[in-house]
Amino acid sequence: MRKENVFIGGAVFAAIASSLCCVLPLIAVVFGLGAFGAASAFDTLRPYLLVLAFAALAFSFYSIYFRREKCAEGESCATKPVSKINQLFLWVGLFAISAFALAPYYTGYLMAAASQPPQVSSEAMPAVSSEGGQANKTIVIEVDGMTCAGCEPHINDTLKQLNGVASSDASYQNKNVKVVYNPKQITLEQIKKAINEIGYKAK
């Protein structure tokens, strides 16, 4: 195997690792899995992994398209063409690395689509009551560990499944989640516990 292909493979692996901070929450939503607290660790390493990935890719481009082996005129290496397979592998690697590098910008849309609830007619929806005359409360909870917009549906879906939570609006940009809940049915501590159990840290 040419060493250029080894560098391309390493670059793709680094790009995949750098994007796990966004990919893991997506996997959680799609497959209904639990906590992914390790995602924040990959977010810390993401800049270094991306630099490593693109550096390895740049070396591969240089090796395949610009560098030529030194050999005497007439020797086989002087006329040996660049392998088409290596070129194809290089461009596929470039596409894959770019896709993973841009993951934070589109995983949020994918997760929103994957977690889209079925449409329910207004006639079938039960009315929200405030037991004992106590109306719903709105609270804004600061959340650590959100690594990209893809984490927002992960948190929202989890909280909306809790009995007593009327709505949830997580914001990666603001690092918080706005929750409307009925204090007669669920406590603030229970809401924070649910957030912590899926790998984030509610303050």
Task: Render each residue's pLDDT in the chain as its tens digit; 203 residues.
Answer: 466 667 777 777 777 766 666 666 666 555 555 545 555 556 667 777 788 888 888 888 888 777 655 555 555 554 455 577 778 888 888 888 888 777 766 766 666 665 555 444 434 334 444 444 458 999 999 998 887 777 788 788 889 989 999 999 999 889 999 999 999 999 999 999 999 888 788 98
Sign of CA dihedral 161, 164, 166, 169: negative
Query: Which pLDDT belongs to residue 169?
Result: 93
Q: What is the pTM of this model?
A: 0.54
Buried b (16+ CB within 10 A) or exposed e, 127-145: eeeeeeeeebeeeebebeb
Burial class (CB in 10 A: 0-12, 13-18, 19+), 171: middle
Secondary-structure class of domain 131-202 per CATH? alpha beta
Nearest Cα to 142, choosing from 179, 169, 177, 193? 177
Instruction: Report d(CA 43, CA 47) in Å as an integer.
Output: 8
pLDDT at residue number 27 = 62
> What pLDDT is attached to residue 68?
59
| DSSP label at residue 117 | P
